Amino acid sequence: MEYFIFSGNSNTVLTQEIGRQLGKELGKVEIVRFADSECRVRILEDVEDKDVFVVQSLFNPVDEHLMELLLLGDAAKRGEARRLIAVLPYHGYARQDRVHREGECLSAHVVAKLIESVGFDKLITVELHNETILGFFEIPVVHISGLSVFLPQVEKIKNEAVVITPDAGALKRSQKFAESLDIPLALIEKKRDLDKPHKIISMKVVGEVKDKIAIIVDDVIVTGGTLVNAAHLLKQKGAKQVIAAATHADFVGGADKILQDSPLDKIWVTDTIPVPEERRFPKLQIFPIAASLVSGVKKMIK
Ligand code: R5P
């Protein structure tokens, strides 16, 4: 089956790597930004009756990246693509997966409906904040684990390791990870101030971490606050090393400096979101995700 892969502007390096591993050149596309910031997209290939994959990571500036994805989808649909597949290495808005307080919107649901409304037939994505989002989609979703790329590293230290879940919401993910490696699990109880974005009120460790290598497993790093606070606590409780393993590096502000200067010994992330050279730091290790996405794509084109 003939197919095309198109890249939005968010992570062209990753899309090129996906194309390279599939032995496929990326489809030609024109993405223009007008002076008033509106975006216009034009697909420069004949996609009629072909499968079309649109790769776009929905990180900061998330609304711009989302809009490009939707417009690329619409252009492919108007070109009469056979099947239209959104490949989202990072699914933005995923943390707004429930109504926390009266009067709030349900953003992850809105994004799911937008993706479906332009005609995407399927979604391939990596390490969602919460699997409940799968239920927001009518179309099938292939949900790839981002944490699996860290497994070979963890195997080397598993006898001394304890997996840490950084908050109650992340329990299922951490449990699965710990069980797959037969490693014990400890929990951090984190309370956030819902009136102040990114503000953590308190944290408490439940479980044994003394003299262990504590591996904090998370979906995304944004300010670094969750991990840095957790690392302080874990070191206080006697952990001999603290490693963060988080799939998406959506660094904002001074997250790079905060993480480098923290008690964390290593920070493992994947390249679902590109980390520019100037924001990389010695404790950061970036693991490639392309092969996992390629296996998702291959299942559809065989
Ligand atoms: C929270 O529920 C998420 O899973 C992450 O732990 C959180 O979003 C990370 O954000 P930050 O780095 O700003 O603490």
Neighbouring CB atoms inside 10 A of 287's CB total 17
Residue 190 clears pLDDT 90, i.e. is over it: no
pLDDT score of 143: 96
Ranges 106-110, 123-127, 165-169, 238-242: which has the least confidence: 165-169
Residue 180 clears pLDDT 90, i.e. is over it: yes
Q: Is 87 in the pocket of ligand 1 (CB under 6 A)?
A: no
Q: Which atom of ligand 1 is nearest to the CA of 226?
A: 14
Q: Is 68 in the pocket of ligand 1 (CB under 6 A)?
A: no
pLDDT score of 100: 87
Active-site annotation, residues: 190
Q: Is 241 in the pocket of ligand 1 (CB under 6 A)?
A: no
Residue 198 clears pLDDT 80, i.e. is over it: no
CA dihedral sign of residues 134, 137, 141, 145 = negative
Output the CA 152–ligand 1 centroid distance in Å.
Answer: 24
Residue 187 clears pLDDT 80, i.e. is over it: yes
- What value does the mean pLDDT of the chain take? 95
Q: Is 26 in the pocket of ligand 1 (CB under 6 A)?
A: no
Within the chain, residue ranges assigned H as helices are 12-22, 62-78, 107-117, 151-157, 171-181, 225-236, 255-260, 290-301
Q: Is 127 in the pocket of ligand 1 (CB under 6 A)?
A: no
- CA–CA dist 229, 206 (Å, integer): 15
pLDDT (mean) for 131-160: 96
Ligand 1 mutation pick, 127, 201, 226, 257, max ligand atoms within 8 A of CB: 226
pLDDT score of 168: 79
Residue 199 clears pLDDT 90, i.e. is over it: no
243-274 pLDDT tens trace: 999 999 999 999 999 999 999 999 999 999 99
For residue 135, give both structure tokens: 């239920």
- CA–CA dist 242, 230 (Å, integer): 9
Residue 209 clears pLDDT 80, i.e. is over it: yes
37-48 pLDDT tens trace: 999 999 999 999
Output the CA 226–ligand 1 centroid distance in Å.
Answer: 6
12-34 pLDDT tens trace: 999 999 999 999 999 999 999 99
Residue 1 clears pLDDT 90, i.e. is over it: no
pLDDT (mean) for 73-84: 98
pLDDT range class, residue 204, cuts 50, 70, 90: confident
